[in-house]
Amino acid sequence: MLMMMMMMKRKGSKESLALVALLVASASCILPPTKEDLNQISIQGEKYLDRQIENAINGVKEMKSVMQKSSEEHKRFLDDLEKTKQKKEEAMRTAQEMEAELEKEEEVCNETMKALWEECKPCLKNTCVKYYSRTCSSGSGLVGRQLEEVLNRTSPFSIWINGEKIDILEQEGQRQNREFKNLEEKYTEMADGVDNIFTDSMKVADHVHYSPPVIYLPNFLSPYARHGRSIRSLFHDPFHGFQNLFSPMMGMSRNFFSSMGSMMDMDSDTVPNEDGNVNEDVIITKPYGNGRMTCREIRRNSAGCFKFRDECQKCKEIQHIDCSGKKPLEGPLKEELEEALALAERFTQQYNSLLKRFEEEMFNTSSILDLFNRQFGWVSSLANNTSDGIFSVQAVMCKDSEKKPNGEEEPGETKVSVKLFDSPPMNFTVSGEIPWTDPKFSEVVAQEALDRYKETSVVVK
């Protein structure tokens, strides 16, 4: 700048010298920008924002594409779940039919069976309470009362034909139905949320009449992205993030799957509580054979006490009772029942695995959708924008430079007042290193205004 002034002096151009002085004064913020200067900064800022809007619209299109791929995967999951459910229900029907057939056989030798049963029940109750009390800290009285109620409405054959497992599988089927319904509701909510964002964004696209450029997508938007953040889109109703739809359910399913293992006699030595620690009430007991139970499990389903049947002689005699030359519990009916139960249990666990996989897929997809929405979803809020202009710089005020301890001058910050879309005026400062005469000044101001607008449109937790 100094060389330019010297050259102009040599030429004796007073007009040029005055122009250079004006430029220096403007660059140094000695002179504030005129109304026309503010208008030019606004125009350049609008051009920058146009590019951001176009990029955001394409980001939302990519977000829609992610949801469409998820929808295809969702259909496959539904097919697999339905097939598995049908196989499970068929196995359960077979088991229940076999159980009913055995109960008919039981009626043939009713008197003998009744006498054995009346002696078996108190022994089974006392044995279960005894072993429970040795291991578990509390609840033995409750377990005894609950078991007595179960025994009074149970068939004598039930203690030898895994009758408690039929009850467990039926309860599990009801829980699976509730879980599936909940998952479907959450998935529908997620799909509707993406549709709303997409529809509003396309309204913006129609309004600006742009030709889609090459889509720019940040590196962090990969299928394996996993950020613990969530957003709220700017819609009529608060929306707390796609991932939050599935986060609580992930915890519930993990807790359930761990407890289901011991109920189904899967190998495990301890079951942790919610804190991940093992306490007195959940120590595994191993009274006989492969039976494994927890204190909590017995409290919730006292039919688990049937596993103590080998301790009671009268209960053992029921297994070998002869009814008019037939031994029902040693014949093919019992084998068919056990095969059907094994199938029902296998398909129940398979259904749980599918539910868990579906839930994990939705959690991962929702994480990616949240990242897209956080980056690009703000553009959907412009669908209801009623203001005429996009961006207007209303005032630029410079502060005097300050001297550093080493004697060098540090440019003072520049205060800016702008209006973006239909938001209230925003006031913030820009580094004095970029004078308002610099073409980059308009981009810096526009980006800062857009970032602040996003904060009002998107809530990050």
∠44-440-408 over CA atoms, to 5°?
145
Give the end of a domain, one of 332, 352, 382: 382
Look at residue 237 and tell me if it is in a domain.
Answer: no
pLDDT score for 303: 74
State pLDDT tens for residues 305-320: 888 888 899 888 887 8
pLDDT score for 321: 78
Whether 38 and 178 share a structural domain: no
Instruction: Give the pair of three-digit tokens for residue 376.
Output: 């690009």
Average pLDDT score over residue span 415-431: 90
Look at residue 318 and tell me if it is in a domain.
Answer: yes
Whether 367 and 304 share a structural domain: yes
pLDDT score for 171: 84
Whether 307 and 196 share a structural domain: yes
Look at residue 358 and tell me if it is in a domain.
Answer: yes
Whether 40 and 141 share a structural domain: no
Query: How far is the C-alpha of 302 from the C-alpha of 427, rounded, in Å?
Result: 68
Whether 161 and 291 share a structural domain: yes
Look at residue 253 and tell me if it is in a domain.
Answer: no
Residue 402's φ and ψ, nearest 5 degrees, are: -120, 145
Whether 177 and 40 share a structural domain: no
pLDDT score for 174: 92
Query: How far is the C-alpha of 22 from the C-alpha of 291, rounded, in Å?
Result: 93
Whether 51 and 127 share a structural domain: no
3-class SS of residue 273: coil
State pLDDT tens for residues 138-160: 788 888 888 888 888 777 777 77
| Residue 84 pLDDT class (50, 70, 90 cuts) | very high
Handedness of CA 257, 262, 264, 266 (dihedral sign): positive
Give the end of a domain, one of 382, 405, 425: 382
Whether 83 and 125 share a structural domain: yes
What string of DSSP letters covers 35-49?
A: HHHHHHHHHHHHHHH
Query: pTM of the predicted model, to two decimals?
Result: 0.66
Look at residue 347 and tell me if it is in a domain.
Answer: yes
Look at residue 276 and tell me if it is in a domain.
Answer: no
pLDDT score for 396: 93
| Residue 325 pLDDT class (50, 70, 90 cuts) | low
Q: Give whole-number Cα distances, 433 to 29, 152, 416, 444, in Å.
A: 11, 87, 14, 12
C-alpha distance across the termini of the chain, in Å: 49
pLDDT score for 278: 40
**Domain extent for 74:** 60-206+282-382
What is the percentage of the chain residues whose pLDDT exceeds 70? 67
Whether 153 and 196 share a structural domain: yes
Query: How far is the C-alpha of 373 from the C-alpha of 330, rounded, in Å?
Result: 64
Average pLDDT score over residue span 265-273: 38
We report the CATH number of the domain holding residue 392 as 3.10.450
Query: How far is the C-alpha of 212 from the C-alpha of 205, rounded, in Å?
Result: 9
∠206-208-210 over CA atoms, to 5°?
85
Whether 181 and 197 share a structural domain: yes
State pLDDT tens for residues 118-134: 999 999 999 888 888 88
Mean pLDDT of the chain: 75
For 37-47, give one letter per residue: b (16+ CB within 10 A) or e. Answer: bbeebbebbbe
pLDDT at 373 over 80: yes
3-class SS of residue 144: helix
Domain count, the chain: 2
Look at residue 234 and tell me if it is in a domain.
Answer: no
Whether 165 and 294 share a structural domain: yes
pLDDT at 114 over 90: no
Whether 76 and 170 share a structural domain: yes
Handedness of CA 241, 242, 244, 245 (dihedral sign): positive
Look at residue 349 and tell me if it is in a domain.
Answer: yes
